[in-house]
Structure 1
Amino acid sequence: MVIAEAPASRTFFPAADGVRLAVETRRPGGAPTLLFAHGFGQTRGAWNGAAAAMAARGCRCVSFDSRGHGESGRVPGGDYHIEQFADDLLRLAGAQPEPPVLVGASMGGLLGLVVAGEVRPAPFRALVLVDITPRWESAGVERILAFMQAHPDGFSDYAEAAERIAAYLPQRRERKSEEQLRPLLRQGEDGRLRWHWDPALLGGVVRESERYQPRLLAAAARVDVPVLLLSGARSDVVSRATVEEFLALVPHARHVEVADATHMLAGDANDAFTREIARFVESLDPAQPNPAGAARGAGAA
């Protein structure tokens, strides 16, 4: 059933260390709750289409800017660590009226895996991983980081920024408008436009990511909530090999490959993306909050 579109409301959520996270909620009285976690260098705006579509289906949809991104606060001195991001996600999940279904893209999905695999009871009702697996293709990640590092002096205007993004995302037919770009850029005292994220993020968090892979693999093997892995058929971050390894670690997970989509899956094919999320959410059994875990427990007994 599709119901009228709900407006989004923004609040700020205090992290454990005082950093304020910008949080946006659609249909606060809806159910189930979907918590959207964006990728590295993105904002909650990456989920606008999906969150609006799922809210129109009656879901309570919560998206947020990770620390150092968008309207959320930055860490003094630029001392970012992955543990901070994982704790933020855990606290946000715990602040919801019910365990949410986490929809996590790239970095957001990896953080979800860590939290779901290491925290008991798991704070999520289920996981939707968007084009990410515990082991990824380094070439694809390096391409993303190269783009993030390519314009340290920013852009002279929105038109220049739109041109650079179009070159980076040639699969997109339409260029971003100034209205779409405003949340992604900040104007400095010199008048130039720079990305919304803290440049210090390219230090500690990026350096830590590779050594986290063993931990991610171990966490994935302990995930006991329903899981949907959505991958882009044209992704250079997730491959057949990384997907097969993940499915061996999490045999109860479902995998759907979305045609004509890259790593930027939600932006490339939002209709197909939200359709698969809706199917997955509708398949969850509300009377059995942890079917995968219950099945494993019965087997162990």
Structure 2
Amino acid sequence: MGNILSVYTNDVDRINELFRYFLVVAAIIFLLVVGYTFYYVFKYQSKKQLELPNQEEGSDRIEIILATIATVITAVFVYLTITSINTIQKIPEHPKPFLEITGHQWWWEAKYPQSGVITANQIYIPTGKKILLKLTSADVVHDWWVYKLGRKIDMIPGRYNYMYMYADKPGEYLGACSEFCGVEHARMRIRVIALKPKDFKVWQKHQLQPVVSKPKDALFEKGKELFEEKTCTNCHAINGTPHKEDIGPNLTHFGSRKRFLSDMLVNNKTNLTAWITNPQNVKSGAKMPNFILSKSEIKALVTYLHNLK
């Protein structure tokens, strides 16, 4: 019985195979019930049938057979379910996660403890490797789910849960928070980008590089000054600078991200300008305050953030 389920690297495939077994058995039972129902409905609906058919009170033999079949089916699926759970949730006693994910209202923080890279929302992993994730929440209960890469799992404040994630080929995999967590829950999206191992190393090395401004770019420097003067540094960290706060997303190399606001908007100057001008008009309930900036200040900040690459 232990070989009924194939050995898969990706836990999703194992879960899907178990689901298919459930579906097939459920479909057979459903068709049998519906089939027998219609059979007897049509058999005894004739107007010529003036007398009721002979009534049978029951059959001990049939009842024992049906009860035995139901018990065997249930026992098999209990065994397969427990076996699958134990395989999927086979976490080392002292886990050393490759990636630490923290859910916030309403964005994702990603830390790579082995390299020291910290990023947000747009998350990168190497292909062909089972990634051990450590998950928690900074505020309310969230639920991590990238359905093509692994099962979903709750993220609970003050507790750590672990799961494996696996991508067999390069690509972008979408997911979402699957536990209602507030007004912007529906737009708390996930984008995991799987790269070939050598490409992942290049990305990771780039993330560890300090941000360098363009030579003699006055607008960039003005934006950098405003970023500090307007207390943006009280919430946002930028690697390679003294700013280490993680209340809001880490903005290191922010300009190289394709999207922002938990994958909500394309990362371009137009969307970034709208966001900085009035965050609540873009994402109601977001904790980013409106600093009531002038157009020139907004332009400088947008230039600064857009060039953090």
Assess same fold via TM > 0.5. no
Higher relative contact order (CA 8 A, sep 6+): 1
Give me the TM-score of the superposition, normalised by structure 1.
0.25
Give me the TM-score of the superposition, normalised by structure 2.
0.24
Q: Which has the larger radius of gyration?
A: 2
Structure 1 or 2: more helix by fraction: 1
